[in-house]
Structures are given as structure tokens and as C-alpha cells.
Amino acid sequence: MAGESSRSIADVLQDIVGNVQSIIRSEVRLAKVELTEEATKAGRAAGLMAGGAVAALFTFWLLLLAALFALSIVLPLWAAALVLFGVMAIASAILLMAGKKRFKTVRGAPKTVETVKENVQWVKSQAS
């Protein structure tokens, strides 16, 4: 403790500035990691949406074709096609809403960004 009491104010301030810089660098590194994780989640959600759209096209194509032929037995062909159009519109809306819901779980800015802003504000208030 005797050595610390002989430190000058300039040395103490220099240590404080160095520590604050180190904290801010650490917060920025953490923010980068969080952004990478969120970008990965967004990519996976987009992949699921694209996969769902492609699967829906291939899976329902044959089903709709069979349904069209079946409906054309009791309805005119144009009416059967119109009914199937409505069914496809509903199925597409469900897939798009599921993808949109998944995208809502992706955070835009990580919490670390707010912490860095708070640290900068604190340093500014201490300096004045």
C-alpha cells in the first residue's frame, strides 16, 4: 500500500483511462460475437423459410393436381382450379407467418452495444 500512495494523479488517471479502454475493447469484441450469433440465427431462419417454400411447391404440386382432377368430377374445371387457388393461398400465408415469427426471435443489436454506450457516457461524465 505504501507504493500506491506515492503514485501521482497522472499515473492514476492514466491507469483509469487504460482500464476504460480495455473494458470498451472487450465490450466491442463481445458485441461482434453476439452479432455473429444473431446473423447465424437469421441465416438459419431464412434457410428454413426457403426450404419450406420449396418443399411446399413440390409436395403440394401433386396433391393439388390430384385434387384438381377429383374436383373436376363434381365441378367445372375452372371452379376446381379456383378452389385449389384458395387452398394454396392459405397454405402460403401459414408458411410465411411461421417464417416471420422465427425472424422476430432475432435480436437486432446485442445488449453489449448498450453497455458500451453506458460506459462511454460514464467516462464523459467523469471527465467533466
* Among 7, 1, 5, 18, CA closest to 123: 18
| Residue 15 reports pLDDT greater than 50 | yes
Describe the crossing of helices 77-103 and 9-74 by its angle, rounded to 10 degrees: 170
Q: pLDDT exceeding 70 applies to what percent of the chain?
A: 90
Query: What is the pTM assigned to this prediction?
Result: 0.40
| Residue 93 reports pLDDT greater than 70 | yes
- Asked if residue 95 lies in contact with residue 51, where contact means CB atoms within 8 angstroms, the answer is no
- Asked if residue 84 lies in contact with residue 26, where contact means CB atoms within 8 angstroms, the answer is no
Supply the mean pLDDT for the chain.
85
Q: Which amino acid would we find at residue 57?
A: L
Q: Give me the pLDDT at residue 4, please.
A: 54
20-76 pLDDT, tens digit per residue, is 888 888 888 888 898 888 889 999 999 999 999 999 888 878 888 888 999 999 999
- pLDDT band of 1, cuts 50, 70, 90: very low
d(CA 84, CA 92): 12
Q: Give me the pLDDT at residue 106, please.
A: 80
Domain boundaries, the chain: 13-110
